[in-house]
Structure 1
Amino acid sequence: MAELSDLSSFDPARPGAAEQIAGLLFALVLVDPNLQVVELNQAAEIMLGKSAKQLVGKNMLHVMGPLDPRVEHRLGTSDAALVAREISITTGEAERRINLTASPLVSHPGWRVITLSEIGHEESGNDDQLASTMGAPSILAHEIKNPLAAIRGAAQLASRKLTGADTKLAAMITDEVDRIVRLIDRMQQLGARNTEVAEACNPHEAIRSAIATVRAAGTCKVEIIEEFDPSLPPVLANRDALEQVLINLISNARDAVRSAGQGQVTVRTRFVSGLAFSAIRLGRAVRLPIEITISDNGPGVDPAMRDHIFEPFVSSKQSGQGLGLALVRKLVHDMNGSISHERNAKKGLTRFRVHLPMAIAKTR
């Protein structure tokens, strides 16, 4: 195998170091011995929420906000290699959970390459593992539903012969059977390996339909604000799946602000252009320039749960089953999209960001 330094095998068409670094999906920052930012790739601009022009020359510790004191001490006093997992940084007033590495450059004492990769969002899970965990075989679901149907039928027959408080007991049996059936259906959805066909669709039509559904289903009057970019191109998605995702996210946001005096939910769309997100799908990079953000001014998710909210059976609601966001994650993933969660403590806002691919116009 030829060495990297073997110029005899140099291919002028081969991407150079700069192109390779620019194409990385994780953030990479070059810092000098004083921890000042010298260079960074596009993923780092996205992660840190600022352009290279704004970041170059800034101290890396200040750019990331307050860090774990041990990590900050190591970065500030030693140029040795460092690996820090699941630490918090603050970017653009939003808190993120990341893994950080600092690699010293032997050829340039004091200089380091710092990488940042976000955790606690939909990319952290393995779909095959989720499918094998959640995907109970159809035959098993069928065998469970059969006796449940018999129990429900018996309860309905009994209710016709019962009176007074006993009829409430029969109704409770029926309601509980229905709840278990719904739970099984949702578990089957999570475990399904088949995906719906993605087509070009207007994201704003899907959003407005979802908002109308949420308003019709709820008695709580919560203000839902639309901040749409009217120039947004069609998104490549399954319309029904996208509506389901939005209904879940908007309903959760509405429930989160239900007790707030001035509860407010905002749905915003924008085209992220040069700050296009990427995700690995089937061994290839997918650009995700269309962003849909659902924000609410509720109390936010319990910090202890923030890294696990997209996992099955994790819920902050007393009566929650913990399958809503897990299903959302799967539906977004099936559309080759990405979903993430962040908390802006200063503004008191919780945000869920959905990034989706743009539909490519067909040429004649």
Structure 2
Amino acid sequence: MNAHSHRLGERPGPAAQIGGLIFAMILVDGDTRIVEANQAAEIMLGKSAKRMIGSYLSEVLKMMDPRVIERMADNEAALVARDVGMMASGITRRVNLTLSPLGSHPGWRVVTISETGRDDVGNEDQADATSLGAPSILAHEIKNPLAAIRGAGQLAARKLRPEDRPLARMITDEVDRIARLIDRMQQLGSTMAGTVGPCNLHEAIRSAIATVGAAGNDGVDIREEFDPSLPPVLANQDALEQVLINLISNARDAAAGSEEPCVTVKTRFVSGFAFSAIRLGRAIKLPIEVTVTDNGPGIDEALGDHVFEPFVTSKKSGQGLGLALVRKLVRDMAGRISHERDAKAGLTHFRIHLQIAK
């Protein structure tokens, strides 16, 4: 038996098992000081294990919920917390957190952290497919009678008196609106992802800005803050431009009522940002960040945690499919999108994180 075959049959030890985990794992002692941290923790928190060891847990995990902070300080407390806020590497994210006391070593605990929705991403995608697949199939069946209704409306317009023709045009306009809505539902229900490859991020942004600008800017200033040194990203060019068009258009609409309406599109390199993709079996590094910021009034707080869900919208005439489609397209590129409201600065941020093209 050669050495390679022997290694394949060898049972991994505890260190290899912990090192291979795709969620962050930290060991803390009775003083709540960090003793060990696996590679996934280094990636998620943007710090090396060497820098974390010896620090208090609360210094490294800056949690937003005071109840979580209180449990972290109690070295005998166990905790399972889902969808809680955490600040790491200057970025706020939603995570699932567990604190597990070690019965054999009083005061010692194992801490695990995973991105919200990332520990069960397969189930999340399956839920999306289930909830959107049925409407997608129904949409296909609706399109045929819609075409017949539109044709009848056009025919009626030719035969009606001039004063009655606006009613026929209203029929065709409403049919067209419903058809556009159905097209978006079908996009959401699709399980087919576009091919990804190297893309020039700044070209995609400028193309999106030009498209949005062609529809009128409503007096909104759209600014660029680019890092010109960024390498190509791994993305689908058409999908990336569609994502940016949606976000910039939404930001422009949101800012339109402000005293000095402004939208800023910023790019930068963010060292250490990653998420654990169980579906792909590894932690994916997402160091390229695009932020679309507006100085509008922000999204209703009641909708804040649901902005990417289908049929959720704060617009009076919206269908709530734009951001749901954005999330799907970003996910198809193995990227991540998040929403954040900075109430103090009066700014709303939508952040996309993407891979570097190799």
Distance 2:280 2:45 in 1: 27
Give the equivalent residue in structure 1 for 2:102. 105
Distance 1:353 1:39 in 2: 31
Q: Deviations over 1:225-268 (max 9, x none)?
A: 22222222222221111100111111122222222223322222
Alignment CA distance shift 1:137-1:106 (3 Å): closer
Give the equivalent residue in structure 1 for 2:3. none
Q: Structure 2: any 5+ residue segments left out of the alignment?
A: 1-5
1:80 maps to 2:64: no
Report if aligned partners of 1:93, 1:346 keep a CA contact under 8 Å in 2: no
Comparing 12-21 and 115-124, the one that deviates more:
12-21
Alignment CA distance shift 1:199-1:70 (3 Å): closer
1:236 maps to 2:234: yes
Distance 1:287 1:91 in 2: 15
Q: Equivalent residue of 1:135, what SS? A: helix
Give the equivalent residue in structure 1 for 2:270. 272
Distance 2:40 2:341 in 1: 20
What amino acid sits opposite 2:82 in the alignment?
R
Report if aligned partners of 2:212, 2:248 keep a CA contact under 8 Å in 1: yes
TM-score by length of 1: 0.81
By how many angstroms is 1:222 displaced? 1.7
Comparing 340-349 and 34-43, the one that deviates more:
34-43
Give the equivalent residue in structure 2 for 1:212. 210
Distance 1:310 1:302 in 2: 13
Comparing 344-353 and 185-194, the one that deviates more:
344-353
By how many angstroms is 1:153 displaced? 2.2
Give the equivalent residue in structure 2 for 1:339. 337
Q: Deviations over 1:79-125 (max 9, x none)?
A: 13211223334557765433221111334322222223332689586
Give the equivalent residue in structure 1 for 2:222. 224
Comparing 21-30 and 174-183, the one that deviates more:
21-30
Distance 2:343 2:29 in 1: 31
Report if aligned partners of 2:22, 2:282 keep a CA contact under 8 Å in 1: no
Q: Equivalent residue of 2:296, what SS? A: coil
1:163 maps to 2:162: yes
Report if aligned partners of 1:277, 1:289 keep a CA contact under 8 Å in 2: no
Give the equivalent residue in structure 1 for 2:115. 118
Report if aligned partners of 1:95, 1:343 keep a CA contact under 8 Å in 2: no
Alignment CA distance shift 1:49-1:359 (3 Å): closer
Distance 1:271 1:333 in 2: 19
TM-score by length of 2: 0.82
- Return structure 1 stretches of 4+ with deviation > 6 angstroms: 9-16, 49-54
Comparing 307-316 and 128-137, the one that deviates more:
128-137
Aligned length: 351
By how many angstroms is 1:55 displaced? 5.8
Report if aligned partners of 2:115, 2:275 keep a CA contact under 8 Å in 1: no
Q: Structure 1: any 5+ residue segments left out of the alignment?
A: 1-8
